[in-house]
Chains A and B, each alone.
Chain A
């Protein structure tokens, strides 16, 4: 993976998320007032506007809400085609953009997936997801 990809500008909303990924952990927020899960992280709950939000470790399990196979891309991604970008719905109820790794022929909406951690460099690890059926090595699953 090239290191030229767009780098997140980490801020005080996002730092625990990115720091967690470097430890191969997926962290999201939860509202202490309305109990709903929150992603992406922010200063207050977008559901009820409470400022009482806490960080919680996600199980890393979810399912594919939608995906696309990218055949034409630009800049640092041009040489990676074809690749799969997806929106995964975590079992906590929030959705996030990601890549799906594994055999493209097996990828389908609704299939269960598990987080896996793609280390780009010392500063950045991205949360990718793998089909549960193809997770034989347990590389990064954090259900333990």
Chain B
């Protein structure tokens, strides 16, 4: 072993250690920010290690430097600009876009090596080694392509650029996807068999498979899909590691792949969905409308913003239940103004955060943190549920399925078993909602029929603005 090899070995080892510590630290609130920087440092370190290794052994040609610099500057610049500019509400689609590009990168590496085999130093043909090479190239292309097109579709759907086409809800989609999958397998076998041109077939059909699998999945399940695709991009990186013989790539890719799977599992649990039903079940509403479509609302009480303000003024303890609708209306800042007024009047305000509130688990916390809501006021479901009986007013903003008592009471409901917030235990519940449309699940919400529930119809932002006005008239929060 010569010096460059030893140096690279030490740096790689250190980078793996720091990356592992980074992922570990990211799972605790206190250490998360430092952990993220630690991981970023480890990544830079790994680049230094690789470049110094080549400088010490084969050297790096001027021409290579030029292309390295061009690629790095353009990629980093766009990444940094997007990361700085993007609004917090579009976080899920941003993560999807970044993720897709990671997949694209693995795909391109494998494609490059496949078209222009890089000299490995040894010229003697080794069947076993070339087989492994072809398998890892194929896996890298297959997973990379699925990650790329899947992430782009996910992003487009979250942005509202793409809707779910009707045919994708029928059984036809399974047939189509099976065709794509089988075609990928044929292309893969053909490639191993020595037919180099079938690599293009592999690229095309695995890209189509990524689209075909993601397109039918409905909005609520999208975060799970992004998390899964994130795991895939790790797998694609690990496969690329086999292609270029890099242990660091394999370790880091495998870590992300495995961690992503765990995270996906955690998310599924929070939504009471199995991964299989997310991937193959289509959108939940399509299957469940038949089973519980019979439910008509019989006892809806609607009230004005003024009444809502009066009740709030008299309250001692208020719990806010923010949901997807709040994120869509981008009303978190307006909400914060309302709660500030209430707090100034000595009213205790707490935010109840369901594990899947918002558009991604944890997304609501980010949005509320952006609006300057103190971290201590954000309560997780298990912590806040016992508090509801002692609460005067609950304000439900754009949340629906996560406050549906059916999940606890009605074993025939598709929601049954999903952890929900027990808002109905509170003295008064106000639900701010555009209309009587159902939530993601398409299931009737029994909460709306309860005598202590009043509906305030309107756009979340507008209602909150009106609420500020009413509270002002009542002299709340003005000292």
Say if A and B assemble together.
Answer: no
